[in-house]
Amino acid sequence: MTLKYRAVLAGLFIIPLLAAAMTAEAGAPCKFQDLAKGPGFKNSVWGLSVRYADTGREVISCNNTKNLAPASILKLFVTAAALETFGPGHKFRTRVYIDGPVSNGTLNGSLYIRGGGDPSFGSNLIKGAPSARDEFGKWSEALKAAGITGIRGSVIADDSLFKGPPLPGSWAWEDIGNYYAAQPTALAVNDNLYRLYFRPGAKPGDPTGVLRTEPKIEGLEFKNMMRTGPKGSGDNGYIFNFPGQYLATLRGTVPLGPEEFAIKGSIPDPALFLARELTAYLQLRGIKVNGPPAKYIADTSLSVTGRAGKPVRITNEKDYGALKFIAETEGAPLKDIVFATNKRSFNLYAEMLLRHLALAGNKPGSADNGLQALRDFMAASGMDVSEVKLADASGLSRLSTVQAGDFTIFLGRVSKKKYFPAYADSLVSPADPDATGHIKKMGMNTKLEKDLKIKSGSLKGVRGYAGYLKTKKGRTLVFTSIINNYSASGAEVDSLHERVLLELMEKY
C-alpha cells in the first residue's frame, strides 16, 4: 500500500471522528474506537483532550482518562516546574576553587571545578551558552592573577551535586550510550555528547571503519559491528555503552555514499572529561599541572561495623567553605535552557532540571526526589496525580504514563502564569527555524502557521502532541493528543493531527 493511499484512508476516518468527538461537548460519548479502523490505526489507543484555555472547559474528550505513554511531551511538566521554581532569568553556576597555599607561584594542592548543574556549559544548542574554551581562558587568567603558574596536585572535577543512579533503570538498553540518553551530571560539557565518525563501505552490507571521535575521548574504545546501509538510509547506528564504561559496542548501519558519516554518543564520564580538557588547556597556557586529572567522588559511604554490630555510615563531603574561591561561570538564563529543551526535545536538559527541582526542595538532587517534587507541582496545578506514573522527566521511558485530560488541565493553568511567554516561546510553530525533526513541518503552508504552538514526542508506536491553538473565533484552545500502538507511518500520524487541528481552528 502506498504512502499516499494510506494517507487518504487516514483522512477518510478523521472527518467522521471529529464529527463524533465534537459531540462530547454536549456529553455524547467519543466514538473513536469504533471509527479508528483504518490501516495502521485499528489496534491503537488514542487519547484526545481539548479545552478552552481561559475557562478550562473541556470541549473534546476521547479516551482522555486512559493512561498512555506520552513520549517527549512529558517535558512540558518539568520545564514549567523549573520556570515557576527558579524564574526565567535564573542562571546555574560553575565555580572554581583551590585547596592549598601558594608558594613561589606553585599551588601546593589541587584545583577543584565544582559543578552547579548547568546544562548550558559548553553547549552547542543553548543560546548564550558559555563556551568551555572561553571559560577555561578566564579561569586560567584568574589563576595567574592569584599568582599561580603551577599546580602540585591535580585538576579535580566535582559533579557530586546530583545524587543517585545516573540514568533511569527503565531506559532501553539500545538507547544508553547514544547522545539522547546522555547521563545528567552536575558538571555537563558539550551537551555530554561526542561525534563518532565512520568510513562507510563500498556497498550495502560491507563493514565500516571507525575514524575518530570529536572531541577525543581518552581511553574510549569500540567493538565495531556497524555495517553500511543503502544510500540515503541515514543514521541507523547505535552505541551500546553504560555510563563510566570505556568499551562501547557499535551496531546498526550508516549510509552508503558519503566519505565519512557521524553519529552521536554519550560521553562516559563528563566530569572526568572536563578535568582532562582543563588540565590540557592549562598546560598549553603555561600553568604546569603535576597530578593526573581526577574526578571527586563525594558522599562515599564505607560500610563498617560499630558497637553491637550496628552499621556506621561514613561520608566524605567536600567542605568548600575551607577552600579559596577563584572564579565563577554563569550559565545561560533558564528561559534559554527551556527553549532548547522543548524546541530540540533534548532529554539531558529535562533530566538535569528534574534534579534541580529536588535541590530546590532542600532534598538531595536525585531523580527520585525530583520526581516527587514534580508530582507535587503537577498536583498544585490542578491535576489528579493518583494515576500518573513518572519514571523520568524526558519521556524516554515507556513506564511514564499520563492522561491526555490531565495534560490539558495543566497547560490551561500554565497559560495564566507570569512566565508563560517564555514557556510558549519554547514550543514549535510551523516551519520553526529553531526546531528539528518532523514537527517543524506540521501546519506549513496552512492556516496553522501563525496560530499554533506545539510540542511533540515520539517513540516507536507512540506519538504525543500538546500545546496551544488560536481559533478562527479568537479563542485559545489547549490540546493534547496521545496515540499508542499504531503501525502507520509517522507522516500519516502527523497528517491526521494536522487535519484535526485545522478542524478545531475552524469550529471553535
CATH number at residue 381: 3.40.710.10
Same-domain check for residues 316 and 304: yes
pLDDT digits (tens, 9 = 90+) for 223-241: 999 999 999 999 999 999 9
Residue 14 predicted with pLDDT over 90:
no
d(CA 468, CA 476): 7
- 51 located within any domain: yes
420 touches 426 (CB < 8 A): no
% pLDDT > 90, the chain = 84
**How many other CB atoms are found less than 10 A from the CB of residue 471?**
15
Same-domain check for residues 69 and 97: no
Q: CB-side exposure of 187: number of CA atoms within 13 Å?
A: 27
pLDDT digits (tens, 9 = 90+) for 165-188: 999 999 999 999 999 999 999 999
Same-domain check for residues 374 and 456: yes
Indicate yes or no: pTM above 0.75.
yes
Listing from the earlier edge strand, what are the strands of the sheet with 102-103?
102-103, 106-107, 150-151, 288-289
- 173 located within any domain: no
C-alpha distances in Å from residue 77, one per residue of 297, 406, 451: 31, 11, 22
Which amino acid appears at position 177 of this protein?
Answer: G
pLDDT digits (tens, 9 = 90+) for 486-501: 999 999 999 889 988 9
Same-domain check for residues 345 and 463: yes
Last residue of a domain, which of 330, 353, 379? 330
Residue 12 predicted with pLDDT over 50:
no
Nearest to 329 by CA among 194, 193, 188, 191: 188
Same-domain check for residues 195 and 148: no
pLDDT digits (tens, 9 = 90+) for 107-116: 999 999 999 9
pLDDT digits (tens, 9 = 90+) for 60-107: 999 999 999 999 999 999 999 999 999 999 999 999 999 999 999 999
Last residue of a domain, which of 289, 308, 330? 330
Domain of 236, in residue numbers: 190-266
CATH number of the domain at 146, please.
Answer: 3.50.80.20
- 282 located within any domain: yes
Say what the pLDDT of residue 452 is: 97
- 277 located within any domain: yes
Give residue 117's region: left, alpha or beta (phi > 0; psi -120 to 50).
Answer: left
- 38: pLDDT confidence band, cut at 50, 70 and 90? confident
Same-domain check for residues 441 and 490: yes
Cell 552490507 sits at which residue?
A: 205
Total domains in the chain come to 3
Last residue of a domain, which of 302, 330, 358? 330
Residue 494 C-alpha cell reads as 502527523
Same-domain check for residues 354 and 472: yes
Same-domain check for residues 462 and 425: yes
- 197: pLDDT confidence band, cut at 50, 70 and 90? very high
Mean pLDDT of 145-163: 97
485 touches 41 (CB < 8 A): no
Say what the pLDDT of residue 37 is: 65
444 touches 435 (CB < 8 A): no
Residue 344 C-alpha cell reads as 530540540
Say what the pLDDT of residue 312 is: 40
pLDDT digits (tens, 9 = 90+) for 329-374: 999 999 999 999 999 999 999 999 999 999 999 999 999 999 999 9
- 179 located within any domain: no
Same-domain check for residues 488 and 342: yes
Mean pLDDT of 401-415: 97
Listing from the earlier edge strand, what are the strands of the sheet with 261-266?
209-214, 193-199, 261-266
- 72 located within any domain: yes
Asked which of 149-153, 163-167, 300-304, 488-492 is least confident by mean pLDDT, the reply is 300-304
- 176 located within any domain: no
- 47 located within any domain: yes
d(CA 56, CA 408): 8
Say what the pLDDT of residue 39 is: 85
Say what the pLDDT of residue 190 is: 97
d(CA 231, CA 233): 6
Q: Which residues contact 246 (CB under 8 A, 6 or more apart)?
A: 217, 219, 220, 221, 268
Same-domain check for residues 414 and 502: yes
Residue 22 predicted with pLDDT over 80:
no
Residue 437 predicted with pLDDT over 90:
no
Same-domain check for residues 345 and 425: yes
Same-domain check for residues 304 and 346: no
Mean pLDDT, the chain, whole residue set? 90
